[in-house]
Structure formats: structure tokens, C-alpha cells
Amino acid sequence: MGQRIDFETLYNILREISASLHSGAHVKDVLDTIVMKSAEMLNARGALIRILNQETNQLELGAAYGLSDQYVSKGPIPREKIITDLCRQNRIIIVRDILNDPRVQRPQEVWAEGIRMIIDSPITYKDDVLGILRIYFDEPREFSEEELHYIILIAERGASVIQKAQLIEMQESRYDQLALQTEKLSAMGRMAAGIAHEINNPLAGILLFSSNLLKKAPKEGPFREGLEIIMQETLRCKTIIHELLEFSRSSVPKTALVDVNNVIMRAIHLLENEFRLRHIRLEVDLSKQLPKIIIDEHQIEQILVNLLLNAIQAIEEQGTVTILSNVTSDRRNVAIEVSDTGCGIPPENMSKIFEPFFSTKAKGTGLGLAVTYGIVQKHGGHVYAFSQPNQGSRFIIELPIPPDVHQGETRR
């Protein structure tokens, strides 16, 4: 017959695991607690948790207790040999024939370890098997319903821990990407400043002498055509240098309390002819309830012009560009949205669009969105991009509302 588990002891164990799970403790420490308490509660030789790696489709060691290093260091095992039955039956499996059961990997080594019986319990979350809890015994024995129910409860806690581990891993990956992006932008800014100052003066000299020669060149012929190409490409280089300087500037924005709708309308006015010549429809929906925010209006106007130009260039034929403003649902930011019905951005390029010099345009410098990202960051805001091929693009800029405005709204 199985042993009777004291309810208070079980409750304390589950509470300890839950407390460590929500306290910010390292996931490995929580898994260690689960395997140790599982083995101790059932008077088992030891226990381990294996977590399913979705990429390799193998069960990797998450934590182990009471087993030799030689045994647990054998590496991951294929999921099929263990998980198949657990998925199909979704219940605890008791392995009594160590040497002949196909669910036991390296049975001779398990036997040599002194193991005579194994219990496998699936660690599941919403019908997905995340891993297994495996408990090892020195000798065969029977189990009470209480003990089996206890194992299921422990496995459920294991699922919570693994979910937390996967969430932390995803968040850390996103943080690493943002940190890398910030470092790349910082390094590129330092390099850009040096390059710009070194190249700008020679370019000015080339442009000056080319202009003088052009005045003396014949009105037609290859000589004049060559000079015109030199001047055209030199001007293009100066444009790139100008954008590099804009990108590399680390000065604090010259801010003032501004109505952002006025800034939006100025940006639109600058590009009215572009919309008209390309037969692109412009839809404007600006909230009349926007509070004033502290921004450098010239910098914000610059990035709005850039986003609108990108939207215009993304539309090959007739289409629509929409620009709107509103207050975010948490009332902490003013949001400006620019969207288009253009060609969209391929998924593989979405993570690169804010990187310096990344461009899919034939004559693009790849600095426009990098500059946009930098300006918005300096304002303490955020920029978001959404796009699908042939379904257009949408860029959202969020700029913080001053705290005193929050307080004023609260008082009203």
C-alpha cells in the first residue's frame, strides 16, 4: 500500500514553491526546490525535470536531485521515447521494468545507479507538453491516490516555472536586441561625426571646382555630361553627410511646450505638392483634445516629413496616406500615427529598419528611420512599426505628456 501524505506538509511545500515562483527567485532555484521536495516527500532516491526544447525537439535537463553527476550529465534525450505516451494518456506513468521498458534510456546505466522503479508525470500547459517530472525509486512499491495527486500538483507547479523561464528568456532576448541596437546607434553616431567632418570639406572643394569648370564647358558633349555627373554625385554625397551629422548629433533637443497638431500641419504643408503630383490621397484626423507637450518642434517636424516621404514613396500608384493624432489609452502619451496603403515591408526586414544604412531604396541612405529613432528616444518617447507585404505600413510615435498636465487633468 502507498504511504499517506500529511496535508499540512504538502501545503507548505506547494506554498514554498509558489512563493519562490512569484518572488523573482531564479528559475533554476525553483526547479531545484521542486525536484528536491518531490523526492523527499515520496522517500524516493531522486528526481529530475527535463524541459522540451522546441527547436531541437529534445528533452534537456532542467534540474536534478539525488542522482550521480555521471548519470545526469549524459546530455539531452529525444522526446519521442518519453513524451509520446505521456501526450496520448496525459497521466502519470509508472515504469516497473527498468531493463525492458522502451521509455527508459540507457537502462543498464539506470540499473547500475540502483534504480528499480520510475514515475513519469507530464508537465503540461494548455494541452502542450513542456517537459516531464521523473522520480526515481530504489525499490518497487505501491502508491496511494494522495501520492499520485501530489505528483500531479507538483508537475503543475513545474509548468508555471517553465512558462516563467520561457517568458524571461523572451524578454531577455528582446532586451539584448534593444541593447545591441542602442550600442550600434551610439557607435555609428561617433563614427559618423568623424567621417562627416573629414569628408565635408573635400566635397565642398570638388563641388566648387566642378561648378567653375561647368561654366567654361561646351554646352553639349561628354565633357559637360561628365561634370554634371560629378556635381550630381557630389551633391548626393553632401546629402548623406548632412544626414550623418543629423544622426550623430547628441545635443539635447531645444524643447518648448508645443501643440503637436500645429507641427503635423506644417509637415503636411511642406509636402502638399508631392501628394498632388503623385495623385495620392491624404487623410488627416487630428484630435482636438490633445494637451500641449514638451518637444523640439523642428526635430519632430523633421521626422514627420521623413515618415510622410517614406509613405509617399511606398505607394507606386494611387493610394492613401493617413496621419492622425490622439492621446493613448493610459493618457500618458500623445500618439502620432502615419500609415499608407503602399508596398509594405517584408517580415525579414522589420527588425532592421531602424538600423543605420539599411535601405531597400535604390538611392536611399538608410539613415532616415535611424534618425527618427534617435530623435524620439531623446524626447523620452517610443516609435513602433507595423507592416505586411502589399498591405501597407503603419508607424506610431508616442511622446510623453508632461506630469503637470496629468495632474491638471486629474484635478479637472
| Residues 407 and 286 occupy one common structural domain | yes
The pLDDT, as a whole number, for residue 116 is 92
Identify the domain containing residue 287 by its residue range.
256-411
| Residues 180 and 166 occupy one common structural domain | no
The pLDDT, as a whole number, for residue 406 is 54
The answer to whether 357 and 366 are in contact (CB under 8 A) is yes
pTM of the model: 0.46
Last residue of a domain, one of 155, 170, 185: 170
| Residues 220 and 318 occupy one common structural domain | no
| Residues 158 and 33 occupy one common structural domain | yes
The contacts found for 359-367 with CB under 8 angstroms, 24 or more apart, are 361/313, 363/236, 365/239, 365/240, 365/243, 367/240, 367/243, 367/244, 367/246, 367/247
Last residue of a domain, one of 170, 200, 217: 170
| Residues 288 and 354 occupy one common structural domain | yes
| Residues 222 and 268 occupy one common structural domain | no
Cell numbers that stand for 341 in this block: 496603403
Cell numbers that stand for 104 in this block: 527508459
The pLDDT, as a whole number, for residue 412 is 37
| Residues 327 and 403 occupy one common structural domain | yes
Is 139 inside any structural domain? yes
| Residues 166 and 178 occupy one common structural domain | no
Is 321 inside any structural domain? yes
CA distance linking residue 137 with residue 146, whole number of Å = 18
Ranges of residues in the chain with a pLDDT under 70 are 1-11, 13-26, 75-90, 127, 165-166, 168-170, 172-175, 178-179, 181-197, 243-253, 355-368, 405-412
Count up the domains in the chain and report the number: 3
155 CB-side CA count, 13 A: 26
| Residues 242 and 279 occupy one common structural domain | no
| Residues 148 and 203 occupy one common structural domain | no
The pLDDT, as a whole number, for residue 79 is 54
CATH number at residue 242: 1.10.287.130
| Residues 75 and 120 occupy one common structural domain | yes
The pLDDT, as a whole number, for residue 228 is 85
